[in-house]
Structure 1
Amino acid sequence: MKYILIVDDDRDCLGMFRNFLVQEGFSVQCATSGEEALSILKDSSIHLMITDLNMPKMNGIELAKKALILLPFMPIFLHSGSISPELPLLAEVVGISRVLAKPVNPCAMLEAIRNELREN
């Protein structure tokens, strides 16, 4: 069983991602903030994290930097409704595996997750 952590301050988005991924056979934990996500990462075995970029207090880039200190080889997907031209390069420098544009295509996301988890 593969464990995925989804981080987003939008509870509707969390629920949608969670339901979809559980139906696809993943175990899913959700967090509504970067702080909550880091707490989960310290206490759980997570294989992949999907985080929103724009969240209060700690954005997805900051979260990814801290998460990769805890789990250096964990793949991280970043999703955002506003992808600037420099975001993919910044994400790559930080160690984020993939940047997804909102609205996220569920089938494309699922394929990316499966490919990433197969490689790790």
Structure 2
Amino acid sequence: MSKICLVAFNGEPMCFVHVLLNAFDFKQKGYAVTIVVEGSACKLVKDLAEETNPFHAMWEQAKNDSLISAVCRACCIKMNSIESAQSQGLPLEADMKGHVALEKYIKAGFTLITF
């Protein structure tokens, strides 16, 4: 089975929704898929938790399906979303000078796709 790691850096909601859509599509087609949230995309962690957000249901589905493997701790602090990330129980990582180290995904056989 192929392994895909979707890495979201871009904080634009319309870009991030494509991360979610692709994750669901890869999963449905039998791929091992995971999402890493980094950079300005970390600001969306707080926004997507709001029930009024049009992409809230998709975000909740991604969390319920355990698709999110890492969220950058340093970027969540910078984007003022750390408290939301913690309250949502997101897997905050800081193993590369405060950020998510992507090497472990390569080492585990994942193909990285960045958004």
TM-score (norm 2): 0.49
TM-score (norm 1): 0.47
Greater length-normalized contact order (CA 8 Å, ≥ 6 residues apart): 2
